Amino acid sequence: MPHSKAITRALLLIAISLYTAFSAGPFAWTAMLSFRTTSEISKAPYAWPETFRWQKYVEAWTGSNYDTYFVNSMVITVLAVLVTTVVGAMAAHCLARYRFRGNRLIYFIIFSTIIFPPQITIIALFQTLVDYGLYNSRVGLILVYVSVQLPLTVFLLEGFFARLPQDLFDAARMDGYSDAEIFWKITVPIGMPAIVTTVILNTVHIWNEFLYAVVLISDESKRTLPLGIQKFMGDQLEDIGMIATGMMIAVIPIVIVYAIFSEKLIQGMTAGAVK
């Protein structure tokens, strides 16, 4: 029996190691390429950098308008995620805790919108933003991201909030808590792992989103980082090393966010009934 357990653990370790190499390999390779010149890469594509050329990051940042793209993506992502999280958490709390006519119908409609591919909404969103004077604006793009990410946020949080013990809310009622106080002082602190999970998922999606941005933004000064990368790759078509540097500038913030909140993400993804 111990021998069988050892074999099982060894196989599991091998599987995890292979999956980790498969997932992290492209990132590590791109990171190495970002410090090398194209001529060095042509001679030895998989070699370790002989010299870490940090100045390439400075060149990419200052010479290709990356600072503008980065700031635009940062502002749009932070505001869109903030609004989505607050509104989504409130909506999920209401659907999970209050029973009213049409509750499940509203939940079903919200859930149904998740399955729609984003391509079918492009024309309608474009026309709506034009009609309201929000086309080619950061505010318009933020509102689009909020509307797109809100259904999934509500869906994930409602399932978690519904598992919270009703006794907590009954006790809060007896202590004289209002509906708003119950949400902010009971639901939000206990549901923080699930909330952080949605924050990370929404941040990754919005930060990397390209389709809506390329259709709804045309001014160079308002472009987000994915649009900047596309332009950067066109300008540096034959400079593989510089393209890798530009890609790393876009990826590093997401890696940092995940590294900081990874524990909360795991808690939120594996959370079951709260005792």
Instruction: Evaluate whether 155 touches 111 at the Cβ level (below 8 Å).
Output: yes
At residue 224, the pLDDT reads 92
Report all structural domains of the chain as residue ranges with CATH numbers, in order of start: 59-270 (1.10.3720.10)
User: Which pLDDT band holds residue 272 (cuts at 50, 70, 90)?
Assistant: very low
Q: Rounded distance, CA 200 to CA 268, Å?
A: 11
Residue whose entry in the numeric block shows the structure tokens 């009703």:
166
User: Tokens 């509906």 — which residue?
Assistant: 179
Which pLDDT belongs to residue 147? 92
pLDDT of residue 275: 40
Q: What angle do CA 60, 259, 255 make, to 5 degrees?
A: 25
CA gyration radius, the chain: 23
What proportion of the chain, given as a percentage, has pLDDT over 90? 32
Give the closest residue to 147 by CA, choosing from 230, 206, 231.
Answer: 206
The pLDDT of residue 104: 85
3-state secondary structure of 245: helix
251-271 pLDDT, tens digit per residue, is 888 888 877 777 766 666 665
Q: Across residues 204-232, what is the average pLDDT?
A: 89
pLDDT at position 3 is 66
- Distance, CA of 247 to CA of 226 (rounded, Å): 9
Model pTM?
0.83
- Give the ranges where 34-65 is alpha helix by DSSP (H): 38-43, 55-63
Write down the pLDDT at residue 157: 93
Q: Above 80 in pLDDT, residue 2?
A: no
Write the pLDDT tens digit of every residue in 125-182: 999 999 999 999 999 999 999 999 999 999 999 988 988 888 888 888 888 889 899 9
Q: What is the distance between the alpha carbons of residues 180 and 130, in angstroms, rounded to a whole number?
A: 36
Q: For 83-130, how does the pLDDT look when each residue is reduced to its tens digit (9 = 90+)?
A: 999 999 999 999 998 888 888 888 888 888 888 887 888 888 999 999
CA-CA distance, 122 to 90, in Å (whole number)? 27
